[in-house]
Structure 1
Amino acid sequence: MTAVRERVNLRRLAILLAGLFVLTGCQLDVVADVVVNPDGTGTIVVTVEADAELADEVPTIADELVLDDVRAAGWIVDGPNPTPEGGLLLTLNHDFEGKDEATNLLRSLGPPFNDPTIGRGQDGDSATNVARANLGLPDGFAAFADDDLQSALGGVPFAARLEEAGVDPSTSFNAELRVTLPGELVAEETNAEVLDDGTLQWNVPVDGTVLEASARSEQSPSTGGVWARPVATLALILLITWLGFMVIFIIYVAIARWRRSRRYRRRALP
């Protein structure tokens, strides 16, 4: 099979990998991991892994992926690197400064992570964190190809060969979305599996259905923060009291010196 050498964004990377993997009978696993820190900053890590069959069938795959535009968009690219099992692992990493940047980065991934949103609302020392997305491939592998790519290639890449082979996402594709939010989860607004370390995980459906993933957390001041404000208030009161005392003391000293000097002047008179 002749590989297509082109500059790819993340969506084009996905369809290229999917086409190569499924046409060689390989399994493709994609995980998007989002970590939101207590201050609203965070990191997105995307891992793409294929099994050993790909390395055997397409040994030049690492050279066929041109990721210059992905790097230019600020993603740190690691790989594709061989795994201990003989497969290949590609990792993309990008930090974000707030909810808007996080949302834009996630939306650049495209399917199966559809319409993702990272939200955050601040109210004094408290914050509300929200994560939402529509997960799935309702149009099968065609969901990976945007209009520009279809126009450039005259249709959905690999469509004829996929149809001929009878390949669909349920037999060759697996994806997960993982999100870590600070604070306490609001159970009635969260439909994720909660892992032992507190990470929220959604398994992306690949049977044509769509999962509306949602999560919400309420972030109150930490244990340290609970006593920090009263201590700061007390310190301010003590500072004001001390300043007031010092002002009174200085005035007292000034008056005492003035009275003393006045008595000395009277004694000095003939």
Structure 2
Amino acid sequence: MHAANGLRFDANLKWLFTELPFEQRFDAAAAAGFTGVEYPAPYAYPAAELRRRLADAGLRQVLINTPSGPAGSPERAGFACLPGRVADFRAGIERGLEYAVALESQFLHVMGGARPAGVSHDRAYAQYVVNIAWAAERARDTGVRLLLEAQNKRDVPGMVLDNQAQAAAVVDAIGSAAVGLLFDIYHVQIDEGDLVHRLREFLPRIFHVQIADPPDRSEPGSGEIAWPTVFGALRDGDYGGWIGCEYRPAKDTLSGLGWIAELAR
């Protein structure tokens, strides 16, 4: 979906159109005007089925996540920083790339992982950097780009990446054109604030943006962020990528989409 200011929004089908079964959300997103979709976990469905749904709806797959463990487990946020789980991490990268290539997904978000009890931050971080370097080499000839994300510590305690600067330092250390930042405005506002300054600072490394409005993680305009200013910073910085709508609609999805015309002018 293109807004009047030229920014391009995609629908996160984990969060939007949840009034419908997952399989019906593709057509619903297309009917609402979206041309791209993202969702974290495609692995319960054959890639061929998802590709057919994308094609039938005329949609582009923008992003998927690497596999993660079940809710409540140490692996719930991914394997990348877990010492002793390198084989699981690599298997997840292989599976994620397999699906990303099959779906022609532009991005694979590499879930960073939460530091388990008894593991120091330095050890987890070192494991993370080594694993990301391996993944970057594995993705190099696939056409899929890898995304690294720092999430807020209120919603996701113990995540290996503390902030945007640390995530950007990993991108710089890897030094691959296939690795960049997933800049989630909701997470940044909660943990760091100063959104426009951080957008401008990290924009050269940002491959993808996601949005939601704190404190309730609902649609833009429902909370505390000055969205015209944020969208203006993206436009003025010539950001040409997708902006993923990863929010929980305050009511139903369709009635909550008015913000696109109102705030993204």
TM-score normalised per structure 1: 0.23
TM-score normalised per structure 2: 0.23
Higher share of residues assigned strand: 1
